[in-house]
Amino acid sequence: MNHSCRNLRVLIAYDGTEFSGWQKQKHVRTIQGDIEACLKRMTRENIPLHGAGRTDAGVHAEGMVAHFKTISHISTEDFLFGLNSMLPGSIRILDVIPVDYKFHARFSARKKQYHYTIFTGRIQPPSKRLYSLHIRDNLNLKKMSECMSHLQGTHDFSSFENSGSRDKSDLSGRGAVRTLSKASLTQKDNNSLVFDFIGDGFLRHMVRNLVGTLLESGRERLSVDLFKEILQAKDRTLAGPKAPPHGLSLIKIFY
Amino acid sequence: MNHSCRNLRVLIAYDGTEFSGWQKQKHVRTIQGDIEACLKRMTRENIPLHGAGRTDAGVHAEGMVAHFKTISHISTEDFLFGLNSMLPGSIRILDVIPVDYKFHARFSARKKQYHYTIFTGRIQPPSKRLYSLHIRDNLNLKKMSECMSHLQGTHDFSSFENSGSRDKSDLSGRGAVRTLSKASLTQKDNNSLVFDFIGDGFLRHMVRNLVGTLLESGRERLSVDLFKEILQAKDRTLAGPKAPPHGLSLIKIFY
């Protein structure tokens, strides 16, 4: 181990609207790509930035965590200030702290929290359009909450996974089994609903598929019993449509 | 007067970020231009939309008012629904109501209200970047409030007008004299300040010039006495820099 090499943990917020998601890709703008480019400008090192997970194009984050290793002597304070000076306002570094060399943003994560926000008023204010899904149908909140109560605990969430999309680097052997410690619905103000999920992991598009299906139950197109059956069936073809990305935000990673 | 011609009053909210302001211009996107294009698609008439005033590129509105005349038989409800279907989410029609034939969005307006929002926290959340100006300097709120108290009432605001920019169609004969019935500063939450102005009219860039100068006093670069002198001098060269457009929002037009 190189003792002059530090491991730094970064807390990041972003507006995903104009990005092709978290993960670096050629020819498109991504959060990871933008931050790595700034790290290179600051340190002249080729620094890989390891995120706690990926987010899709258009998905936001209030509390993404990542880590990177550097042999530079730049202070954490200067990283915070320097990165924010170079990055666009749509990406903000909220915190940089030195962590144990063994800390890994992804493998050390215990839980993640996501919010999915719905605007239910008749006309959506322009300032909310990028951060909440506008639903004009009447929604039965009691029914959606009841469906969500059945999501809590440990389940095989295959029915809400995008087919053929399992992360191939998932070496945990747990397949599509995940544990949700929270799945609840809260009314934020008169016109906003927030689906709140905390889990030890989420399959690809799982939150968006869950929300799309929950909304079908809220519209009275799906009974609570049928919702439970869909969960138990482990069959993606039964669930509702995937909710669009812009209502989704990664709120917090728990370590 | 053509009795089959209706006069309709429209309440409009918009995110000005991607627009070159309210007023229609060739080759660029404007709020007026976008709405007039939709009115034409709906009615096949060439309908001029008269706004209560103009807003600059990047300035937002929660309550712009405009009126238009039409010989069509489209209901106000269908105008509301149809326009919102065709317009981008950054422009929302909040209300369409029939008004007296003599109602004029601009000439009938008695007062206007503007808010200018400042984010004072250390790191500005991405979702606020388009709607508030980020100021990291310590601001003396008491001093700014005291300066604002001197703005209330009737004054010649030449010092805060953009030079050479008086609206040539101002036939009121009042020159740069305007009456502010409200000029106050409120703390919205821990990290936000709102400058709140209500007046019988505002000169071009007046709010942004006022806010830029008030911020100089908040930064202790300008005493309250000097602020009063600037107001009394009627000389634009004395005031502080113009605050950027994205913190500004037209809140309400009073009739």
Domain ranges of chain B: 6-99, 111-254
Q: Which one, of B103, B95, B63, lies nearest residue B77 by Cα?
A: B95
> How far apart, in Å, are the Cα atoms of B113 and each of A81, B50, B218, B231?
36, 18, 22, 20
* Residue A93 touches partner B, C-beta closer than 8 Å: yes
Closest partner residue to B127 (CB to CB) among A91, A94, A131 is: A131
Question: What are the structure tokens assigned to A35, written together?
Answer: 């931050």
The yes-or-no answer to whether A6-99 and A111-254 have a common fold is yes
Question: Contact, A58 vs A133, CB < 8 A?
Answer: no
ipTM over 0.90: no
Report the DSSP beta bridge partners of residue A6.
A70
- Tokens for B61, please give them: 């509105």
Expressed in percent and rounded to 5, the helix, strand and coil fractions of chain A are: 30, 30, 45
When the candidates are 3.40.50.970, 2.70.98.10, 3.30.565.10, 3.30.70.660, the CATH number that belongs to B111-254 is 3.30.70.660
Q: What is the mean pLDDT of residues B116-128?
A: 96
Q: Tens-digit pLDDT profile for chain A (255 aa)?
A: 455 899 999 999 999 999 999 999 999 999 999 999 999 999 999 999 999 999 999 999 999 999 999 999 999 999 999 999 999 999 999 999 999 999 999 999 999 999 999 999 999 999 999 999 999 999 999 999 999 999 999 999 999 998 655 555 555 678 999 999 999 999 988 899 999 999 999 999 999 999 999 999 999 999 999 999 999 999 888 888 999 999 999 999 999
Residue with tokens 């959060």: A31
Give me the total of CB pairs closer than 8 Å, taking one residue from chain A and one from chain B: 48
pLDDT tens digits, residue range B130-150?
A: 999 999 999 999 999 999 999
**pLDDT tens by residue, B19-49:** 999 999 999 999 999 999 999 999 999 999 9
Q: What is the largest CA-CA distance in chain A?
A: 60
**What secondary structure letter does DSSP report for A19?**
S
pLDDT at A189: 84
A84 touches chain B (CB under 8 A): yes
Measure the N-to-C terminal CA separation of chain A; round to a whole number of Å. Answer: 23
Please say if the pLDDT value at position B164 is more than 60: no
Q: How far apart are CA A44 and CA A32, in angstroms?
A: 17
What band does B170 get if pLDDT is binned at 50, 70 and 90? low
CB-based contact, A92 to chain B, within 8 Å: yes
d(CA A59, CA A55): 6
Are B100 and B83 spatial neighbours (Cβ–Cβ below 8 Å)?
A: no
Question: What was the pLDDT predicted at A162?
Answer: 81
- For residue B177, pLDDT over 90 is answered with yes
Nearest by CB to residue A92, choosing from B84, B94, B126, is B126
Residue A166 vs residue B80, higher pLDDT: B80
Answer yes or no: do A125 and B89 touch at CB < 8 A: no
| Residue pair A60/A247 in contact by the 8 Å Cβ criterion | no
> Given an 8 Å threshold on Cβ–Cβ distance, is A123 in contact with B91?
no
Pairing of strands A177-189, A192-199: antiparallel
Contact: B131, A127; criterion CB under 8 Å: yes
Between CA A117 and CA B96 the distance in angstroms is: 28
Q: Which CATH architecture has domain B6-99?
A: 2-Layer Sandwich (3.30)
Provide the percentage of residues in chain B whose pLDDT is more than 90. 89
A126 and B90 within 8 Å at the Cβ level: the answer is: yes
pLDDT greater at residue A236 or residue B160: B160
B56 catalytic residue (yes or no): yes
- Taking only the tens place, the pLDDT of each residue in B203-216 is 999 999 999 999 99
* Residues of A involved in catalysis: 56
Do B125 and A93 make contact, defined as CB atoms within 8 angstroms?
no
Indicate whether B105 pLDDT > 90.
Answer: yes
The residue with tokens 């807003």 is B55
- Eight-class DSSP state of A149: H
Chain B residues closer than 8 Å to A90 by CB: 126, 129
Mark yes or no for CB contact A126/B91 under 8 Å.
yes
Helices (H) and strands (E) in chain B, counts: 5, 10
At B166, the amino acid letter reads: R
What is the least distance, in Å, from the CA of B175 to any CA of chain A?
A: 35
